[in-house]
C-alpha cells in the first residue's frame, strides 16, 4: 500500500446559501486544488446524500465535474447516508493507496435550506429502517431514544449533554466558515424547546448548505493519512443490544487504529459527529479517547474545549459549524488539515495527530480517519 | 388478553426480531417464524413534538424488550411517569401496536380483577368474549 497524503483542503462558508449546489462544490474544489497547487485531478470522487430529492439533479458526479470545468476527468459518486463525505474520502484514499491514481479530488456537498423543514426531515429520515419509520421515527426521534437510554447511565445528565452545545457554539464563534456565529449559555440550551424528549432544540444540529473538498495525493504533502476504518451495524435501531454505545463507531475506530499502528493515546485533537450533542459523549468513549463513563465529566471540566487536554470539534462541530450532510465528512478532514498545517486562524490548536469521526444514518455506517502532520 | 406478536428467530445466533424478517440481520441465514407474548420491559422512550406528516403531536414512541427476546417499537398514549425497565403490555389497535403502562393503579386493578368476586370474574370473561367476537367480525368484514 502506498502512503497517501492530503495536499489541499477547501470549503465554503456553511449556512443558508443561495448558490446552486454545483456552485458550492466548485467553490470548495477550486479552493482545495489552489492550496495543493494542482490544475486538474486525475479522478473526482463526489459525495452527496440525496441530490435527486434535495435539488432535483441526478447523474450527479458528471453534473458536478462538468460544472467545475472537468468534464473529461473521470468522476463517480459515493453514498453512505450522512457519512457520505467520509466514504468518498475513503474511496479517494483507496485509489491512491492502491496505486490506481496519484491525484484525486474528493468533494462533498449538500443543499437543503430552500426546502421546508418537515420535507428535509422526511428526506433525511428515509435512511431509517422502514418499520421504525412507520411508527413516526425521525432522526431526532431515534436520537431521543438513544439520549433517554444514555441519561439512565451514571455520569451523564442533561447538564453534561448541554455543555457539548455550549462548547461547540463557543468554538464556532471563532470559525468564519461556521453556520452559527453565536454563543449559547447552559440555560438557553436546557430551556430551549423540546424536540424529542429529552432532546431539546439546541442539542440538535441545524439544517445547512455547504461543500468541502480535499486533494489526495501520492506525492508527499504536509498531512499524511495514517489510518481509516469503516464500521457498520443493523439498519434498525431496535435490533441492537446497546443504545448508549455505537458498534459502528467502535468497529471503525478499531480498523483505523489498526491501520495507523497506534492507539487513541496518540490523538491530539478530534472532529466528532455531534449531529445530536449526546453523540459527542458517546463517540468520545466508543473511540477510547476518554475512559468509559468519563465523557460527561471531561466535558464539564473543559478537557474537550479549545484550550483543553483534548480539543473536540475546534470547528464548532455539526452542532455549530453546521451539517450539510455529505459535506460534513469532508469538512471535518478540511478542519483537521487546516489545524495540522497552522491555517486555523483564531481557533488554532496544538497537535500533530488528529482524528475525524462521521456517522451515517443512525450509526449504521460510520467512519474514523486518522491524520498526521508529516 | 395478551397479544401475540409475530416474530422470527435466527437458527444460528438465536436472535429474535419483530416483525419477522426473511434473513437474520447479522447472519446470512433464513429466520424461522415464531410468535412471542406481547409483554415486556421499556428499554427507552421519547416524545416527539414535531412528528412527521401523518402523526399527531405529541407522539410517544418506545422500544420494548419483549419476554420472547425481540425488541419492539411501538406507540404509547402517555410517557409521563414512565421509567426504563417498567413492565408494559403490548396492545394492537387498528393493526398499530401500543404499549400500555402498568402503573400502580393498573396493577391494582389487575390484581382485584383476578382476586374479585366470582360474579365479577364472569362479567370480565363475558366482556372478553364479547370483545373477541366483535374483533372477529371486524376482521371478517375486512
Cβ distance of B71 and A238 shorter than 8 Å: yes
Domains belonging to chain A, first-starting first, are 5-114+207-373 (3.40.47.10)
Verify that B41 and B66 share a domain, yes or no. Answer: yes
Question: In angstroms, what CA-CA distances link A163 with A156, A159, A221, A306, B41?
Answer: 11, 6, 37, 14, 31
Verify that B28 and B98 share a domain, yes or no. Answer: yes
Cβ distance of B25 and A239 shorter than 8 Å: yes
Does A153 lie at the interface with B, CB-CB under 8 angstroms?
Answer: no
The pLDDT tens digits of the residues spanning A249-302 come to 999 999 999 999 999 999 999 999 999 999 999 999 999 999 999 999 999 999
Verify that B11 and B74 share a domain, yes or no. Answer: yes
Verify that B95 and B26 share a domain, yes or no. Answer: yes
SS3 A271: strand
C-alpha torsion A51→A56→A59→A64, nearest 10 = -70
What is the spatial distance between Cα B44 and Cα B42, in angstroms, rounded to a whole number? 6
Domain that holds residue B132: 103-142
Cβ distance of A195 and B47 shorter than 8 Å: no
ipTM for the complex? 0.94
Verify that B127 and B74 share a domain, yes or no. Answer: no
Give residue B94's pLDDT: 85
Contacts of B19 in chain A (CB under 8 A): 131
Question: Mean pLDDT lowest for which of A18-32, A188-202, B15-29, B93-107?
Answer: B93-107
Give residue A155's pLDDT: 83
Q: Average pLDDT of chain A?
A: 97
DSSP H or E stretch at residue A162: helix A158-172
DSSP state of B116: S
Verify that B19 and B87 share a domain, yes or no. Answer: yes
Nearest CA in chain B to A122: B52
Q: What are the DSSP calls for A81-140, one per residue? A: TBTHHHHHHHHHHHHHHTTS-SEEEEEEEE--TTS-HHHHHHHHHTTS-HHHHHTT--HH
Verify that B114 and B131 share a domain, yes or no. Answer: yes
Q: What are the DSSP calls for A198-237, one per residue? A: TEEGGGB----BEEEEEEEESS--SEEEEEEEEEE--SSG
Cβ distance of A145 and B44 shorter than 8 Å: yes
Q: Which residues of B77-115 are buried (b: 16+ CB within 10 A; e: fewer)?
A: eebeebeeebbbbbbeeeeebbbebeeeeeeeeeeeeee
Verify that B110 and B80 share a domain, yes or no. Answer: no
Instruction: Sort residue A58 into left (φ over 0), alpha (ψ -120 to 50) or beta.
Output: beta
Query: What is the domain-level CATH number for residue B50?
Result: 2.40.50.840
Verify that B55 and B95 share a domain, yes or no. Answer: yes
The label of the residue with cell 492507539 reads A263
Give residue B95's pLDDT: 87
When divided into structural domains, chain B yields a total of 2
The label of the residue with cell 498545517 reads A341
The pLDDT tens digits of the residues spanning A35-93 come to 999 999 999 999 999 999 999 999 999 999 999 999 999 999 999 999 999 999 999 99
Chain B residues 58-117 within an 8 A CB cutoff of chain A: 59, 61, 63, 71-75, 79, 84, 96
Do A195 and A207 form a contact (C-beta atoms < 8 A)? no
Verify that B113 and B45 share a domain, yes or no. Answer: no
Verify that B81 and B48 share a domain, yes or no. Answer: yes
Give residue A69's pLDDT: 97
Verify that B98 and B108 share a domain, yes or no. Answer: no
Do A355 and A369 form a contact (C-beta atoms < 8 A)? yes
How would residue B121 be classed by pLDDT, with cut points 50, 70 and 90?
Answer: low
Would you say the pTM of this structure is higher than 0.95?
no
Nearest CA in chain B to A150: B44
Nearest CA among A164, A137, A161 for reference residue A148: A161
Amino acid at each position: 500500500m502506498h502512503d497517501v497524503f492530503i495536499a489541499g483542503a477547501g470549503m465554503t462558508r456553511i449556512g443558508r446559501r443561495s448558490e446552486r449546489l454545483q456552485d458550492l462544490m466548485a467553490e470548495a474544489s477550486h479552493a482545495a486544488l489552489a492550496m495543493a497547487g494542482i490544475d486538474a485531478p486525475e479522478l473526482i470522487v463526489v459525495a452527496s446524500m440525496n441530490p435527486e430529492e434535495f435539488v432535483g439533479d441526478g447523474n450527479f458526479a458528471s453534473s458536478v465535474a462538468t460544472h467545475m470545468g472537468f468534464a473529461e476527468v473521470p468522476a463517480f459518486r459515493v453514498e453512505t447516508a450522512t457519512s457520505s463525505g467520509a466514504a468518498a474520502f475513503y474511496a479517494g484514499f483507496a485509489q491512491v493507496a492502491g496505486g490506481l491514481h496519484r491525484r484525486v479530488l474528493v468533494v462533498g456537498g449538500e443543499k437543503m435550506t430552500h426546502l421546508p423543514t418537515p420535507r428535509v426531515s422526511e428526506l433525511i429520515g428515509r435512511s431509517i429502517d422502514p418499520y421504525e419509520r412507520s411508527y413516526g421515527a425521525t432522526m431526532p426521534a431515534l436520537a431521543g431514544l438513544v439520549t433517554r437510554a444514555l441519561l439512565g447511565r451514571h455520569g451523564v445528565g442533561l447538564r453534561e449533554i448541554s455543555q457539548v452545545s455550549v462548547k461547540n457554539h463557543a468554538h464556532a464563534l471563532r470559525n468564519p466558515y461556521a453556520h452559527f456565529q453565536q454563543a449559547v449559555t447552559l440555560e438557553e440550551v436546557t430551556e430551549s424547546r423540546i424536540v424529542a424528549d429529552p432532546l431539546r432544540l439546541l442539542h440538535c444540529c441545524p439544517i445547512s448548505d455547504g461543500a468541502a473538498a480535499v486533494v489526495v495525493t501520492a506525492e508527499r504533502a504536509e498531512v499524511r493519512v495514517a489510518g481509516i476504518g469503516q464500521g457498520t451495524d443493523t439498519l434498525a435501531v431496535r435490533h441492537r443490544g446497546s443504545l448508549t454505545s455505537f458498534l459502528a463507531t467502535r468497529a471503525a475506530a478499531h480498523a483505523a487504529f489498526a491501520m495507523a499502528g497506534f492507539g487513541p493515546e496518540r490523538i491530539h485533537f478530534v472532529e466528532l459527529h455531534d449531529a445530536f450533542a449526546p453523540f459527542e459523549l458517546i463517540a468520545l468513549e466508543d473511540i477510547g479517547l476518554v475512559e468509559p463513563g468519563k465523557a460527561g465529566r471531561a466535558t464539564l471540566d473543559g478537557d474537550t474545549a479549545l484550550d483543553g487536554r483534548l480539543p473536540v470539534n475546534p470547528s464548532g462541530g455539526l452542532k455549530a459549524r453546521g451539517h450539510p450532510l455529505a459535506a460534513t465528512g469532508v469538512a471535518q478532514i478540511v478542519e483537521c488539515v487546516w489545524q495540522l498545517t497552522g491555517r486555523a486562524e483564531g481557533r488554532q490548536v496544538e497537535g500533530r495527530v488528529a482524528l475525524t469521526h462521521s456517522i451515517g444514518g443512525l450509526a449504521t455506517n460510520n467512519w474514523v480517519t486518522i491524520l498526521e502532520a508529516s | 388478553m395478551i397479544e401475540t406478536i409475530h416474530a422470527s428467530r435466527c437458527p444460528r445466533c438465536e436472535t429474535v426480531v419483530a416483525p419477522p424478517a426473511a434473513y437474520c440481520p447479522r447472519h446470512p441465514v433464513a429466520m424461522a417464524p415464531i410468535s412471542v407474548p406481547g409483554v415486556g420491559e421499556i428499554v427507552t422512550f421519547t416524545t416527539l413534538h414535531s412528528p412527521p406528516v401523518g402523526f399527531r403531536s405529541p407522539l410517544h414512541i418506545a422500544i420494548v424488550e419483549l419476554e420472547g427476546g425481540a425488541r419492539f417499537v411501538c406507540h404509547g398514549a402517555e410517557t409521563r411517569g414512565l421509567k426504563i425497565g417498567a413492565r408494559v403490555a403490548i396492545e394492537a389497535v387498528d393493526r398499530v401496536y401500543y404499549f400500555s403502562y402498568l402503573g400502580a393503579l393498573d396493577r391494582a386493578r389487575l390484581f382485584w380483577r383476578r382476586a374479585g368476586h366470582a360474579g365479577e370474574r364472569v362479567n370480565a370473561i363475558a366482556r372478553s368474549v364479547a370483545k373477541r367476537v366483535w374483533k372477529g367480525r371486524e376482521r371478517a368484514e375486512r
